[in-house]
Amino acid sequence: MESSIRLAHVGDEGVTAICEKLLNPALESVDLSRSQFGKQGLAMLISAISEAPHVATIDLSMNNFGPFGANCIAEALICGWKISTINLSRCDLGLEGIRALSEAMTMAPNLANIDLSCSGMCEEGGFAFAEAMTKSMGIQKLILSANLLGKSCKAISVNLKHLDQLAALDLGENGFDDDAGRALAEAIPGLASLEELAVWEAPEPSDPGYDADHAWPVLPRLSADVLARLLAACRRKGFELSTDPMSL
């Protein structure tokens, strides 16, 4: 029996068939990225997954279900959803959805890995997430890249100390500034489980060696002193600061 399934472009009309597949007790991973669910289909799917405790990983990326979808997932997490890994990249969750999901993550002890890259978190959502971090979260891999977090990068960096199981973190392309860089450099020594850290920016034509045909991400545009401190903090932990975007 298959342990994983991958379906795309199923729409609401295909949800019933998916729900039947979820009854397979051998099924552990479900990839439903780009599935174009509507509200009704998504609500049915979340309910079905709640009844399938054997499913540990779900990919819902690139489904533009907005705050409604985030609230459905948040409610499921609060009610004891057993999912350990979830990809919500490019789902445009909105501020309301981010707030609901952030709070729900504090009540989801099984949730270990989450991708919220390019999810519409923005600066205000980043502050809401940072506040939720002060409560209990068992997150091991956290991807927050490409959300334009701005000033909330510092608040998130400061509150990393509360994520004592965190092993991998991606904060790339978020307008990372010197204040955030200093806070992150100070937080790194206290993160006992941290093994991977990515902080990067999209390249710009003004960058040395810029090549439009090979535009790889670059290190954050920090002052020389702050960047040096950040790089040194990583090296003391036994790894290099990465410019490679993470994925689940």
For 91-137, what is each residue's pLDDT tens digit?
A: 999 999 999 999 999 999 999 999 999 999 999 999 999 999 999 88
Name the region of 117 (left: φ>0; alpha: ψ -120 to 50; beta: rest): beta
List, run by run, the mean pLDDT of 10-residue segments along the chain (248 residues): 71 80 89 87 88 91 92 94 95 95 96 97 97 94 97 98 97 97 98 98 81 83 97 97 96
pTM (2 d.p.): 0.94
CB 219 within 8 A of CB 227: yes
Q: Which two tokens stand for residue 35?
A: 């599935």
Partners of 197 in the beta sheet?
A: 169
Of 64, 68, 84, 24, the C-alpha closest to 48 is: 24
CA distance 3 to 171: 31
What was the pLDDT predicted at 215? 75
Of 125, 191, 124, the C-alpha closest to 157 is: 191
